[in-house]
Amino acid sequence: MFVSAPLTVRRSVAVSARPLIALLILVSIPNWSRADNLQDQLNSEYKGKNQLLRNFYSGDNLAYDQNGDLRVVDNPGSWTLAEVQIKSISVTTLGVDILGDRLGVLYTAGNPGLIKVGELKIHIDANTRPELNQILPKIFIDPKEDLRPLVSDYWKYFMAGTDQKSRKAAWENDIRKRPVQVFKPKDFPAGELKPPRAVSAPDPKYTPEAASRHIEGTAVLSLVVDTKGAANDVAIIQSVGLGLDEQAVIAVKKWHFAPATRNGEAVPVELKIEITFRCCPLEYAGQAP
């Protein structure tokens, strides 16, 4: 636009140059104004507020196309590391750029809190309100949206209750619906059931976000030890946060047990496991909190 116009002016009579240049400026002003207005609107709506990334992507530089899809595939992470506090929004001819702080959820005495764990840049290939109205819901989760369909199965019972008792009750309610009966140790007279015993129990890994901040805590899991000694139906009943709970689940799913037996016959039973994280692994010892 600004290249072709002066060429056209030079090919016409000199007196027409100023009116045409003035017209170009007048035509351009509404475009700049719309961009400025959109930027102001977006900052007014989002700046300083927290948003939860859909799919809980773990990268620190996310670029979305005009359809709201990531240009480069990123690994889904933990929802406890996917909160973003938006610091600024810029609208350019290339799209929208969002800068924010990535926040992590940390549970202390059962109560959630937020701490900064990094920075995040988001680029969106859109710079008009209609486009963004379609794209933003694909990037951020609506605060009113139910998270349970969006998280792994082992989280849905945690989100179904407010404490260990209610969460375990929700988990047990589903376990009772299974075609194979699962027993509780208390279902048998004392001494009749030989409980399961872990014969291989690899330790969970620390997440960098938790280790660098010297986070400690205990994740409580409910699970079923089947007749082959495998851990199934794992559910988070008490959370630590900062991605540690996922690491506890990953580790426990690799555990192998000598199964519970009754009168010498293997039976599936419920089991509660506490995974305590004590800071910190040697590989993170030099990182600052």
Q: What is the CATH number of the domain that holds 210?
A: 3.30.2420.10
pLDDT grade, residue 171 (50/70/90)? very high
Residue 91 lies in a domain: yes
Confidence grade of residue 34 (pLDDT, cut at 50, 70, 90):
low
Answer yes or no: do 33 and 120 share one domain: yes
Q: Has residue 43 got a pLDDT over 90?
A: yes
Asked which of 95, 121, 145 is the last residue of a domain, the reply is: 145
Check residue 191 and give its pLDDT: 82
* From 93-97, 133-137, 139-143, 186-190, the region with the lowest mean pLDDT: 186-190
Give the mean pLDDT of the chain: 86
Model pLDDT, residue 271: 96
Residue at 48 is within a domain = yes
Contact assessment for residue 74 and residue 107, using Cβ atoms and an 8 Å cutoff? no
Do 70 and 173 lie in one domain? The reply is no
State the CB neighbour count (10 A cutoff) for residue 17: 15
> Do 132 and 199 fall within a single domain?
no
Last residue of a domain, one of 145, 167, 191: 145
Q: What integer pLDDT is reported at residue 109 of this predicted model? A: 92
Q: Are residues 72 and 118 in the same domain?
A: yes
Residues 182, 229, single domain; the answer is yes
Same-domain status, 107 and 123: yes
Q: Are residues 71 and 180 in the same domain?
A: no
- Look at residue 214 and tell me whether its pLDDT is greater than 70: yes
Judge whether residue 25 has pLDDT over 50: no
With respect to residue 277, please indicate whether it lies within any of the assigned structural domains. Answer: yes
pLDDT at residue 1 tops 90: no
Tell me: pLDDT of 23 over 50: no
Q: Residues 6 or more apart from 191 whose CB is under 8 A from it? A: none
Q: How confident is the model at residue 148 (pLDDT cuts 50, 70, 90)?
A: very high
Assess whether 95 and 157 both reside in one domain.
no
255 and 274 inside one domain: yes
* Same domain flag for 39 and 76: yes
The tens digit of pLDDT for each residue in 238-287 reads 999 999 999 999 999 999 999 999 999 999 999 999 999 997 655 544 44
Q: How confident is the model at residue 185 (pLDDT cuts 50, 70, 90)?
A: confident
Query: End of a domain among 126, 145, 164?
Result: 145
Whether residue 3 is predicted with pLDDT greater than 90 in this model: the reply is no
pLDDT of 24 strictly over 60:
no
Q: How much of the chain, in percent, has pLDDT values that exceed 90?
A: 77
- Cis, bond preceding 279 (omega within 30 deg of 0): no
Q: Are residues 123 and 223 in the same domain?
A: no
Number of folded domains that form the chain: 2
Confidence of residue 27 (pLDDT cuts 50, 70, 90): very low
What is the model's pLDDT at position 190? 82
- 35 pLDDT band, cuts 50/70/90, is low
Host domain of residue 66 = 4-145
- Is residue 289 situated within a structural domain? no
| Nearest C-alpha neighbor of 252 from the set 277, 227, 275, 276 | 275
Does a structural domain hold residue 230?
Answer: yes
Higher-confidence residue: 116 or 127? 116
Q: Is residue 124 part of a domain?
A: yes
Provide mean pLDDT across the span 174-181: 92
Do 266 and 190 sit in the same domain of this protein? yes
Considering the domain boundaries, does residue 12 fall inside one?
A: yes
pLDDT value of position 73: 82
